[in-house]
Amino acid sequence: MTSIDPPNAAPKPAMPAEWRDFFALTKPRVMTLVIFTGLCGLLAAPERINAFLGFAAILCIAIGAGGAAALNQWWEADIDAGMKRTSKRPLPSGRMDRTQARDFGIMLSAASVGIMGLAIGWLAAAILAVSIVYYAVLYTIWLKPRTPQNIVIGGGAGAFPPMIGWVAATGEITAMPVLLFAIIFMWTPPHFWALALFVKTDYEAVGIPMLPVVAGEQATRRQILVYAAILLPLSLAPWWIGGTGWIYGASAAVLSGLFLLLSAQVGLRRTQEGDAMRPEKRLFGFSILYLFALFAMLVVDRFALTP
């Protein structure tokens, strides 16, 4: 398996890695959003799933996300070492051997897909497998180091969980799970570019072609505004097609309206050297709240309005 090792593999650490390092490799903070949106997809689906099988489905989504995150860190250890935000991770800080991280990621990924297939169904398992390959290979290895559109296409990886949750409950792909996928897909670029605007120097240092680095700040600001403008009608689409009730529809209108307003503040401003980037930080913070609230309302709508 050494033939697929990334270049510049670090020397083996003196001590064995602690279990906390393996846990950190799964990016637990990112996983919370994955679990939450997956759970919302599962709960918002029109069919009820056995509670224990539902738990198993969410566990598989979480394990799969953890495996993909481990493979991402295995590949990007050199890049992570050059960025302040990521330099304390187990691999760049030298607490773990790179091969272990790769094997751990493969093991988690395979286990999650296998258990999902056996316990829930092979359609949900196939989508989970696609999401792992999408993140670990398409985004991490191929797109991220090559194109400033990395976030746009790579954002699809994070958009899969609600679709997997929905398909786990219903066993089929309909318009609703595709719309939930599309909402996260369109939400990811403004969310991430808001972050990239105020940590731009980190990406510059390691040569990752993030949009603010390659196309400049103004182009990034315009793109944030465009994506937020598309997100407003898209977030209303589940209500428009009759997949949800008025509770979700009203919540989506308010939340997406606020998101567009904050994006406009970012999109229409020009900054000078040394700017505190407050609107960008506010947009980034709100974007996380936005996704949690939007998906929570999807579930509230389902339970409040379905007899």
* Residue with smaller CB distance to another protein, 27 or 221: 27
- Give me the residues that bind another protein (CB under 8 A), please: 14-19, 50, 52-53, 56, 59, 115, 118-119
Q: Which is nearer to another protein, 16 or 46 (CB)?
A: 16
User: Least distance (Å) from another protein to the CB of residue 84?
Assistant: 21
* Residue 16 vs 285, nearer CB to another protein: 16
Q: How far is the CB of 111 from another protein (least distance, A)?
A: 8
CB of 34 vs another protein, minimal distance in Å: 19
Q: What's the closest the beta carbon of residue 135 comes to another protein, in angstroms?
A: 23
Q: Is 305 helix (H, G, I), strand (E, B) or coil?
A: helix
Contact between 213 and 199 under an 8 Å Cβ cutoff? The reply is: no
**Choice between 56 and 194, CB closer to another protein:** 56
For residues 68 and 109, is the Cβ–Cβ distance under 8 A?
A: yes
Q: Is 189 exposed, middle or buried (0-12, 13-18, 19+ CB in 10 A)?
A: buried
Question: Which amino acid, one-letter code, is at 272?
Answer: Q
Q: How far is the C-alpha of 115 from the C-alpha of 130, rounded, in Å?
A: 15
In whole angstroms, give the CA distance from residue 67 to residue 144. 18
Query: Min. distance of Cβ 118 from another protein in angstroms?
Result: 7
Which residue number, 17 or 182, has a Cβ lying nearer to another protein? Answer: 17
Instruction: With beta carbons less than 8 A apart as the criterion, state whether 135 and 157 touch.
Output: yes
Structure tokens at 143: 């797109």
Single-letter code of the amino acid located at 96: M
In the complex, the smallest distance separating the C-beta of residue 20 from another protein, rounded to whole angstroms, is 9
What does the angle CA 80 – CA 98 – CA 156 come to, to the nearest 5 degrees? 55
Question: What Cα–Cα distance (Å) separates residue 125 from each residue in 39, 167, 301?
Answer: 16, 10, 27
Q: With respect to another protein, which residue has the nearer C-beta, 115 or 152?
A: 115
Least distance (Å) between residue 207 CB and another protein: 29
Among residues 7 and 11, whose Cβ is nearest to another protein? 11
The CA distance from 279 to 8, in Å, is 38
